Amino acid sequence: VKTFGYQFLENMYAITRFSFRDVNTAAWTWHNTPSKATSTPGYRDAGFDNFAPSYEDWGAADTLLISGTDPYETKTIIYTQWIKPGIDRGMKVIFINPRETAGLTYAKKMGVGLHLDLYPGTDTPLLGAITRIIVENGWQDQEWIKKWVNNKWETNSGFGQGTRNTPWQWRTTWGKFQTGGFEGYKKWLLAQDEYKLENAARITGVDADKIRLAAEWLAKPKADGSRIKASFGIEKGAYWSAGTSNTNAVASLATTCGAGGRPGQVVGRFGGHQRGGQNGGSYPRNKSPEKVPGRRRRPLDTDRWLKSGHTRLAHVIGTTWVQAMAGTVGLQQAFEQMVTHNPHQVRSHDKQEIIDTLKKRADSGGMVVWNHEIYLRDPIGSRFADIVFPAATWGEEDFMRGNGERRMRLYSKFYDAPGDAKPDWWIIAQMAKRMGYDGYDWKNSSDVAEEMSRFSRKSRKAYHMIKVAAHREGTTLHEKLRSLGTDGIQGPTFYNYETGELHGTKRLHDTTLTKADMEKKWGVDGPRGANFHSKKYTHFNSQTGKVNLQKHPWSLISDYWYWLQPKDGELWHTNGRINEIWQSGFDDTERRAYIAQRWPADTQFMEIHPDDAAARGIESGDLVMMYNERVPTFKDTILGVYKNHLQFDTLMKEGHIELGKGAVTAVALVTPAIKKGVLFTNFLNMWQPTNSLQG
C-alpha cells in the first residue's frame, strides 16, 4: 500500500485499520517515504514532538533558526502572521538553504536576516560547527541542561531486562548516538574534526564568519548577562536529505541553547499541508523481512521490495508513487516490467475473465495495481492501474484534520462529488466487507469519526474529549467541531467535568504550566473520566521526561555525500516547493488559466547561478536537458548483520547498488538567488519529475 499520509482523519483511519488490523501487511508506507519510518528520528529520540510549538512561538524568539525551508513559501500563514511581525520588532532569523527566497530577502531588508547558503546534504557539519562554537565559548544554557537533560543512566533507565524492541530505544541506548549526558556530548563534539570551523566551512561552502555569527546570534549572552531566546524550526530540506544525522544535530543544538518547552524557545517542524493522520491499527514491523545490524527489524522499504520483484498487488491511494519522493526511472521500469509487459492483460468485459486474468498475472510474478484518485494520473492511473476508484475529496464530504499547531477543525461538505466518486473510507469499507472483515458498516464520515476518536487519546491531537463534550451536549463529534468554527481547538483536548468546559493545549512540553493551569483543564482532582494525561504535555517524550542529548556523526552519511558530490563538470541539484502551486497544483495548473500560463503543468524550470550558466553558454529562457548518468538505487531488499553493512561504501562494494540514468528538460532561469554550483527545480512536476535525477 502506498497512500497519502495525512489527507483527512476519517480516510486515514479506514486505510490503516484495513491495512494493519485486518490485512496485516508490512508492505505499507506514506506518500512521502519508501517505508513507514520516523521522518525526524533525531527529534523523536531527543523527546521532541514535531508539532509541539504553537504558531505564536515562532514569532516570539530573539533568534529563529529556519532549516530546509522558507515558511513564506511552504507555510505562509506562519510567516505572514507570526514570523514577519517578529522580524518587524527585531527578531533575528537564520536561514539554512542553498537559495535566497522571499522570506529571507525580507529579513535581510530589515537588517535581521542571515543566510547560511550551504551545499545540499551538509547540514550536519554546519550545525555541528555552530554547536561547537557555542560549547567552546561556554554559551550553553547550563541551568536548562542541568534540569532538563538526561545523563547516561537516565537515558538507560526504565527499560527493564527485556528486549528493547522499538527503534528509538535502540538508537538512544546503543551504538553511535548515545552520550554520557552533556559532558559526554561535549567531549565527543570537540573530538570531531569535521566540526572545526575551518573544516565545516570547507565542506558546506558557507563562509566561516557567517557560521560564527550564527552561533553568536543563537547563544551569546546579552550585554546584561541574560540569555538569548532561540527557537529552531525545520522542514523537508533538513530531514529528507539525511534525516537521522540532521535531526540529531538540530535537536542537540537546540537543547544546548535551552530550547524545547518555553514560550519563544521551542524546537519543532513548521509543517506544510494541513494534517489528517489517524492510525487505525499498529504497523506489523515483525513481518518486515528487512533488518538493520544488531538483529533489529526496520519497516519494509516498499520501493526496494517492488523493484526486487516481490510486490503482487500495489494499492495506490492519492499519490503518484512513480514520480513521488524516491521515484526513479528504475522504479518506473519495474512497474512496466511487472504490469504492462506481463502477458496476462485484461482484454475482456467479462467480470470472471478479468478476475482470472489478474490472478494469473500475480501468480506469474507480475503485479496488479489499484488506484484511488480524483483525477486520472499518468502513469499510475492511466497506464498502470487495473482498477481505478474515483475518490471524493475536500468539500465533497465532511472531514476532520488539524494544522501545524494541532488545531482541529471540520472541513464541511458544500458540494456533491461528481459521478460515482466516493470518499476513501467508503471505498475501503466496501473492500473490507467483501473480504469478510467486520466493523465497516459506516453510514457516513461522522460514523467513522465517532469510532476513531478513542484511538487519538495518546496522540499529539488527542481530540477524543471533543466527542465526550459533544455527547454530553446531545450531539456528535462532527457537529461539536463544526460549532467551533474556523478557529477549532488545539489538541490535546481536555474536558472539565466540574465546569462542563472543553479545553485545548497551546504547546506540548510546556515546562511553564502550573498546577492551577492543569486544574483548569480537568478539575482539582486530576484527570477524570476519559481524560488522558501524557507526560509530553509538561515534559519531554522520553522515559524520564527529560531530553536525550544525541550524537550526530557526519560519518553516518559522509561516504555517500563524498561519492555524490559533483565530478567532471557536474553540479549539485536540489528541488523544492513553489508558493503559488504546491498546495493546489494538482488542480490549478490544469484548470486555472492564470496559473497554467505562469506555471505550465508540463514545463519544468531550472534555476542556475550566472557563473555556472556562463560557463555552459546558458541564458534565461533556454530549453536545457538536465541529466545524471550515475543515479544510485538499491538492486534488492537487504539484511544488515554487521555494523557497516548498510553504509553506502559497503553497499557499493558488495554490489547492492546499481547506477541508473535520469533526464528531464527544463527552462533555464539564470539567477544569483541560487548558490554557485547548485541547480534548483520544482519538486512537484509530474511531467518532468526531477527526483529521477537523484539517488
Predicted pLDDT of residue 225:
94
| Residue reference for cell 562494494 | 653
CATH number, domain with residue 603 = 2.40.40.20
- Residue 271: name the closest of 236, 323, 314, 226 by CA: 236
**Pairing between β-strand 399-402 and β-strand 313-317 as defined by DSSP bridges:** unpaired
Average pLDDT over residues 657-671: 95
Q: Are residues 238 and 315 in the same domain?
A: no
Q: Are residues 373 and 411 in the same domain?
A: yes
CA distance 505 to 537: 8
Lowest mean pLDDT among 13-17, 33-37, 618-622: 33-37
Q: Are residues 305 and 453 in the same domain?
A: yes
pLDDT level of residue 640 (50, 70, 90 thresholds): confident
Q: In what order do the strands lie in the sheet with 399-402?
A: 399-402, 407-411, 489-490
Average pLDDT over residues 266-293: 91
Residue 523 maps to a domain: no
Domain that holds residue 221: 41-153+169-269
pLDDT level of residue 12 (50, 70, 90 thresholds): very high
Report whether pLDDT(254) > 70. yes
Is omega for the bond preceding 553 within 30 degrees of 0, making it cis?
A: no
CATH number, domain with residue 472 = 3.40.50.740
Average pLDDT over residues 439-465: 97
Residue 544 maps to a domain: no
Report whether pLDDT(153) > 70. yes
- What angle in degrees, to the nearest 10, is found between the helix axes of 208-219 and 123-136? 60
Predicted pLDDT of residue 170:
67
pLDDT level of residue 495 (50, 70, 90 thresholds): very high
Predicted pLDDT of residue 159:
56
Lowest mean pLDDT among 401-405, 444-448, 496-500, 639-643: 639-643
Q: Are residues 109 and 195 in the same domain?
A: yes
Average pLDDT over residues 405-413: 97
CA distance 86 to 93: 9
CA distance 10 to 327: 28
DSSP 3-state helix, strand, coil percentages of the chain (rounded to 5)?
Answer: 40, 15, 45
Q: Beta-strand (E) ranges in 485-588?
A: 489-490, 494-496, 501-503, 572-576
State which of 219, 242, 269 marks the end of a domain: 269
State which of 239, 269, 299 marks the end of a domain: 269
Q: Are residues 442 and 383 in the same domain?
A: yes
Residue 65, Cβ density class (10 Å: 0-12 exposed, 13-18 middle, ≥19 buried): buried
pLDDT level of residue 178 (50, 70, 90 thresholds): confident
Q: Are residues 249 and 184 in the same domain?
A: yes
Dump pLDDT digits (tens) for 182-211: 999 999 999 999 999 999 999 999 999 999
Predicted pLDDT of residue 164:
58
Report whether pLDDT(38) > 90. no
DSSP state of 324: S
Residue 556 maps to a domain: no
Q: Which amino acid is at 635?
A: K
Dump pLDDT digits (tens) for 518-554: 999 988 888 999 999 999 999 999 989 999 999 999 9
Helix (H), strand (E) counts: the chain:
28, 22
Q: Are residues 255 and 296 in the same domain?
A: no
**pTM for the whole structure:** 0.95
**Pairing between β-strand 399-402 and β-strand 267-269 as defined by DSSP bridges:** unpaired
Residue 538 maps to a domain: no
- What angle in degrees, to the nearest 10, is found between the helix axes of 197-204 and 123-136? 160
Report whether pLDDT(412) > 90. yes
Q: Are 41 and 16 in contact (CB under 8 A)?
A: no
Is 648 strand, coil or helix? helix
Residue 529 maps to a domain: no
Predicted pLDDT of residue 599:
87
Q: Are residues 199 and 97 in the same domain?
A: yes
| Percent of all residues in the chain with a pLDDT value above 70, rounded to a whole number | 98
| Percent of all residues in the chain with a pLDDT value above 90, rounded to a whole number | 81
Average pLDDT over residues 9-28: 98
Q: Are residues 440 and 388 in the same domain?
A: yes
In the numeric block, which cell numbers belong to residue 346? 485484461
Q: Are 36 and 1 in contact (CB under 8 A)?
A: no
Phi then psi for 521, rounded to 5 degrees? Answer: -70, -40
Residue 104 maps to a domain: yes
- Residue 59: name the closest of 218, 233, 237 by CA: 233
Dump pLDDT digits (tens) for 497-507: 999 999 999 99
Q: Is the dihedral of CA 65, 70, 75, 79 positive or negative?
A: positive
CATH number, domain with residue 203 = 3.40.228.10
Predicted pLDDT of residue 163:
52
Q: Are residues 22 and 47 in the same domain?
A: no
DSSP state of 287: G
Q: Are 14 and 428 in contact (CB under 8 A)?
A: yes
Query: H or E segment at 594?
Result: helix 593-598
Average pLDDT over all residues of the chain? 94
Q: Which of 164-178, 327-341, 498-512, 515-529 has the highest mean pLDDT?
A: 498-512
pLDDT level of residue 292 (50, 70, 90 thresholds): confident
Q: How many residues does the chain have?
A: 695
Dump pLDDT digits (tens) for 339-358: 999 999 999 999 999 999 99
Predicted pLDDT of residue 643:
80
| Residue reference for cell 492511466 | 382
Q: Are residues 191 and 321 in the same domain?
A: no
Phi then psi for 651, rounded to 5 degrees? Answer: -60, -40
Residue 164 maps to a domain: no
CA distance 309 to 322: 15
Q: Are 670 and 610 in contact (CB under 8 A)?
A: yes
Average pLDDT over residues 244-259: 97
Predicted pLDDT of residue 107:
98
Q: Are residues 181 and 75 in the same domain?
A: yes
CA distance 448 to 425: 8
In sequence order, which residues have a C-beta less than 8 Å from that of residue 336 and are 6 or more positions away?
none
Q: Are 227 and 221 in contact (CB under 8 A)?
A: yes
Average pLDDT over residues 153-168: 66
State which of 269, 303, 329 marks the end of a domain: 269
pLDDT level of residue 650 (50, 70, 90 thresholds): very high
CA distance 153 to 25: 37
Report whether pLDDT(368) > 60. yes
Number of domains into which the chain is organized = 3
Residue 560 maps to a domain: no
